[in-house]
Amino acid sequence: MSLTQDTFAFVADVVRRRSAIQLEAGKEYLVESRLLPLAREGGHAGVDAYVREVRSARRESDLADIVEALTTNETSWFRDNAPFSALRTHIVPGLRAERTVLDGLKVWSAACSTGQEPYSIAMTLTDVLGPGARFSITATDLSEQVLAQARSGRYSQLEVNRGLPAPMMVRWFQRAGHDWQIADELRRSITFAKHNLLDLPPAGPFDVVFLRNVLIYFDLETKRSILGRVHRALRPGGYLVLGAAETTIGVDGDWERVPVERGSVYRPVHAGAVPSPRPAPGTLTGATPAVPTAAPRVPVSGAPTSTWPVQPRPATTLPTAPRRPAGPAFEQGVTR
């Protein structure tokens, strides 16, 4: 069954107004697959019928459900690896080299979904900063539902299978019935809060901001506006980590791109300031500042300017392109 254009246009408008996420033509499959469970729950034959009911009933809770369904997605631990490797080998050593004392490091994990990213950051920082080091992570998402799971730190077997290195699993998790419970030590380092990227950033300033696989869903103007807010939320000399298919280049010129291994991170450039008095070990000096030019909208499923040399993955908390379907045997959970 396919959606009518009228249904798609209505849903896209609701999502855009409430989250600024653009659902472009071609994303009908996404709307259908995400809303079908809601439609069935309400006893409707399909998404068109469900949306007709939503439009006539005009209930706030229905609209919130739609936005939540379209902006939430599965995620994995240490997703894409490279950003966590950059945190370990370049960002923390870079900050250490520029400050006499690196204590109380503050990180913002934006669009954190069910918490795998902030917990992966916490595991990495615990390792790299050493015992007793203080750090805090503010983890935000638009969806209360995903934040509730993130706060609980409780994950299913299928969830812990996704990208969590076995040594980390035995170190930081304990069995809790059929699920796995993350250690309180990690939970205490993270504050979870509901936040819309279009609003003012959470209380900073931050040393590092993870904003991964989010910008690709916004139009150029919104990207620029979000990057401006993140810029103001970062300490001078801080770092911005974007997703594999994202860059500040062509969007916002107030960033210095720092090549790290085979990818990049970004540092805020402040008028009249020298961005990197002492570059992080292994980084290139004299990186060309981004020149603001008009750039075409980055399509959701494409990766025209991959900054990490990895397979582009679906977004953490946002609508995604379809992935290669898992075999039916896996979906059913093969055991022996």
Partner 1 sequence: MRALVIDDSRTMRRIVAGALEDLGFSTVQAGDGQQALDLLESGEEVDLACIDWNMPVMDGLTFVTRVRANPAWRNITLMMVTTESEHGQIVRALAAGAHEYLIKPFTTDAIRDKLDLLGLVPAEEPV
Is residue 184 at the binding interface for partner 1, with CB under 8 A as the rule? no
Q: Name residues contacting partner 1, limited to 36-95 (CB under 8 A).
A: 76-78, 81
* Choice between 228 and 302, CB closer to partner 1: 302
Binding mask 6-25 for partner 1 (x = CB under 8 A): --------------------
Query: Hey, which bits of the chain come out as E strands?
Result: 105-110, 135-141, 154-155, 173-176, 179-182, 190-194, 206-211, 234-242, 255-260, 263-268
* Choice between 281 and 304, CB closer to partner 1: 304
CB of 141 to partner 1, least distance (A): 21
Spatial distance between the Cα atoms of 162 and 256, rounded to a whole number of angstroms: 33
From 51, 121, 303, 315, residue interacting with partner 1 (rule: CB under 8 A): 303
Residues catalogued as catalytic: 34, 141
Is residue 288 at the binding interface for partner 1, with CB under 8 A as the rule? no
Is residue 304 at the binding interface for partner 1, with CB under 8 A as the rule? yes
Spatial distance between the Cα atoms of 193 and 115, rounded to a whole number of angstroms: 11
* Choice between 198 and 310, CB closer to partner 1: 310
User: What are the phi and psi torsion angles at 19 (to 5°)?
Assistant: -130, -10
Spatial distance between the Cα atoms of 207 and 289, rounded to a whole number of angstroms: 20
Spatial distance between the Cα atoms of 48 and 139, rounded to a whole number of angstroms: 35
Total chain residues near partner 1 (CB under 8 A):
40
Residue 61 corresponds to which amino acid? Answer: S
Token representation of residue 206: 């931050």
Q: Which residues are at the interface with partner 1 (CB under 8 A)?
A: 76-78, 81, 157-158, 160-163, 165-167, 169-170, 173-175, 262, 302-307, 309-311, 323-324, 326-327, 329-336
